[in-house]
Amino acid sequence: MEFLRPGSWEEALAAKAEHPEAVPLAGGTDVMVEINFDRRRPDHLLDLNRIGDLYEWETGEDEVRLGASVPYARIMEELRAELPGLALAAHTVGSPQIRNRGSVGGNLGAASPAGDSHPPLLAAGAQVEAESVRGTRLIPAEEFYTGVKRNALAPDELIRAVRIARADGPQQFSKVGTRNAMVIAVCAFSLALHPRSRTVRTGIGSAAPTPVRARAAEDFLAAALEEGGCWESGRPVPPSAARRFAELAAGACNPIDDVRGSARYRRHAVAVMARRTLGWTWDAYRSGGRDSRCA
């Protein structure tokens, strides 16, 4: 095994071009488990810890460009206002020790359907900035997940950053697990209200081979809110509409039975989370929380 230690982003891209099979190593919270348990023996480890750019973020007018390696601990402490959904999700990852090392870039690299950053990225609207010596491309989050633990990166590409739309309304994240800390999601749901475009977006985790949006639910709810004049009046979402939204969200799932939960339970739980997160976000919107902060 060789330990490649690029000192700059350019060096990292060159190393990845030269060794496309090299395994990038950010916080190591996925990779090191596999190495410790002998599940993976890459010829090359590509350590990204020395590349300062990956640990920084830039907040623009409309989006946050989040460096791939920014640890969850900093997201939940410092990006709550701009990225409320992701900050809430970050707070549920593992434990403090894991959150001090684990990153969204690593979550995307691993592309587990249970990864907690995926639902809020889908709900907020995000693009993965993938780069290689050949150039840079932006991959919308919904096109990034291509299968169970598979993603759209080419062998010579690395994730430089994730460009996430700044919240223009309340956002929520909800996760089902057996306890508060150190839990892989049985399933998860994220909802973002976008009052500016009068749309809503969703993200579902761990209830299909890849993280997915519940598009039919989104379209239905946007139409119902528009029809009821709810965005202007701040009137409560009619219970029948909330129920239908929840049903459609459950319909977007394609879950499996496994040790963590049955498919039937997952569908049910997604419906419950959809209804609750809608209640929380809409309450926040109504109560003058028409800014970016969450409930």
Partner 1 sequence: MRVNFTVNGRPQQADDVWEGESLLYVLRERLGLPGSKNACEQGECGSCTVRLDGLPVCACLVAAGQAEGREVVTVEGLAEHARRRAAGAGTPPEPAGTSLDEARRWTAAPDGTRAAALSPVQQAFVDAGAVQCGFCTPGLLVAADELIERNPEPSDADIREALSGNLCRCTGYETILDAVRLAAARAGEAGPR
**Stated length of the chain:** 295
**C-alpha to C-alpha distance for 8 and 24, rounded to whole angstroms:** 14
Q: Using CB distances below 5 to 8 A depending on partner kind, what does residue 68 bind out of partner 1, ligand FAD, none?
A: ligand FAD
Instruction: Look at residue 93 and give the partner it binds from partner 1, ligand FAD, none, a contact being a CB closer than 5 to 8 Å depending on partner kind.
Output: ligand FAD
**Per CB under 8 A, 184 contacts partner 1:** no
Tell which positions 56-85 bind partner 1, by CB under 8 A: 73
Burial of 41 (0-12, 13-18, 19+ CB in 10 A): exposed
The residue within the footprint of ligand FAD, chosen from 44, 80, 101, 213 (CB under 6 A), is 101
| Nearest distance, CB of residue 71 and partner 1, angstroms | 8
Binding-site member from 4, 66, 68, 294 for ligand FAD (CB under 6 A): 68
- For the window 10-29, what string marks contact with ligand FAD as x by the rule CB under 6 A? -------------xxxxxxx
Angle between helices 215-227 and 239-251 (to 10 degrees): 160
Is residue 170 at the binding interface for partner 1, with CB under 8 A as the rule? Answer: no
Query: Among residues 14, 17, 35, 263, which is the contact residue for partner 1, using CB under 8 A?
Result: 35
Strand-strand pairing, 44-47 and 2-4: parallel
Pairing mode, strands 199-205 and 145-147: unpaired
Residue located via tokens 């020395």: 50
Angstrom CA distances, 64 to 25, 102, 222, stand at: 23, 19, 25
Minimum distance of ligand FAD from residue 122's CB (angstroms): 14
Q: Are 185 and 177 in contact (CB under 8 A)?
A: yes
As measured in angstroms, the least distance from the Cβ of 253 to partner 1 is 28
Looking at 21, 37, 196, 239, which residue binds partner 1 (CB under 8 A)?
A: 37
Q: Looking at beta carbons only, is 116 or 218 nearer to ligand FAD?
A: 116
Q: Does 88 bind partner 1 (CB under 8 A)?
A: no
Contact in structure between 83 and 64 (CB atoms under 8 Å): yes
Q: Residue 41 binds what, of ligand FAD, partner 1, none (CB under 5 to 8 Å, by partner type)? A: partner 1
Nearest distance from C-beta of residue 3 to partner 1, angstroms: 4
Q: Which one, 92 or 242, has the nearer CB to ligand FAD?
A: 92
Query: In angstroms, what is the minimal distance from the CB of 60 to ligand FAD?
Result: 21
Q: Which stretch binds ligand FAD (CB under 6 A): 137-145, 178-186, 210-218, 282-290?
A: 178-186
In angstroms, the CA 30 to CA 96 distance is 15
Distance CA 89, CA 123 (A): 12
132 binds ligand FAD, rule: CB under 6 A: no
Name all contacts of 19-25 with Cβ < 8 Å and 24+ positions apart.
Answer: 19/43, 19/44, 19/46, 20/155, 20/156, 21/155, 22/46, 24/48, 24/109, 24/158, 25/49
Select the residue interacting with ligand FAD from 6, 84, 85, 106 (CB under 6 A). Answer: 106
Q: Provide the binding-site residues for ligand FAD, judged by CB under 6 A.
A: 23-31, 33, 48, 68, 92-94, 98, 101-103, 105-107, 109-110, 115-116, 158-159, 182-184
